[in-house]
Structure 1
């Protein structure tokens, strides 16, 4: 009788340990986890949905993210930016809506692209669907960012990764 109880307790303990290990593996963070940045620019609410890759000791600019080529500005699905009101991006009008967000990095100037096809895999970019293209200047980041991140500030969007920051000036559109 005692042996049966001990065996039952041991079996229960082993089942608990095994199930805990399996759940921990399932909850392991993805290589490029989904992230969201949201905030107000004037009276417009802006939301950025993206996947956030890590530097992991790699050379990012000009290597992992090549210069002169369209980049999905995140990982996995295309990064999207949603505006609930019309805005001005670097002085150019952009209607309210959800856009995929791409860039063409260069050492001193970046092309920022808002594309009308929001729901797509990040590598399926079609230039014919561009709603707006603007040029911005990257800057040195205030601190090293291991993970790609977006911030919505009162001045616009800020993409930060590794030692680089890419500000995109956005204001509320004039009526």
Structure 2
């Protein structure tokens, strides 16, 4: 009898967890079958043998001023649209020097002109039902100017077997943070 490699089991578990979180939230909070104005997206990356998955809503700029207006500076933002942005990590990791246990979290931010606070929170919810008492960790990073992009996008760059940089990008702003295993 063949055994399934542990990395395949972990990958399957992470994908199933992410899928069930998204489907469960949609089933609770979606009242119709119309297409979303801000469609959902999921991005995953394996770092070594650790799987990282981010599921989020992708709002569009739509000729609006985003940061400092639609998304005010100095206020907690759900960092996407619709449900909380979900961050699933299959193993314990370090994010910007902060230890984070394996699990499923929501990702919020506090945008600023010169620095952003990234918030990892244990509560997944619809919309802006942020609960500060559920914060697991907070850290600050510096935003960067970049080329325009219409829809919010998360992606991974500088991927190695020990680390990767998560990039949040929207409008003309890029906000990177590094995950190490």
* TM-score, normalised via structure 1 length: 0.79
Residue 171 of structure 2 is matched in structure 1 by 162
Residue 146 of structure 1 is matched in structure 2 by 150
Residue 91 of structure 1 is matched in structure 2 by 97
Listed as ranges, the gaps of 5+ residues in structure 2 are 1-31
Residues 89-123 of structure 1 show CA distances to partners (whole Å, capped at 9, x for unaligned) of 101100000100000000010000000112x1130
Indicate whether 1:127 and 2:132 are aligned: yes
Indicate whether 1:65 and 2:74 are aligned: no
Tell me the number of residue pairs that the alignment of Structure 1 and Structure 2 aligns.
145
Residue 43 of structure 2 is matched in structure 1 by 37
2:111 is aligned, of 105, 113, 119, to 105
Task: Report the secondary structure of 2:99's partner residue.
Answer: strand
Looking at structure 1, the residues matched to 57 and 134 of structure 2 have their Cα atoms a distance apart, in angstroms, of: 22
What is the CA RMSD across the aligned residues, in angstroms? 1.5
Task: Report the secondary structure of 1:61's partner residue.
Answer: coil
1:27: how far off? 8.5
* TM-score, normalised via structure 2 length: 0.76
Which structure would you say has the larger Rg? 1
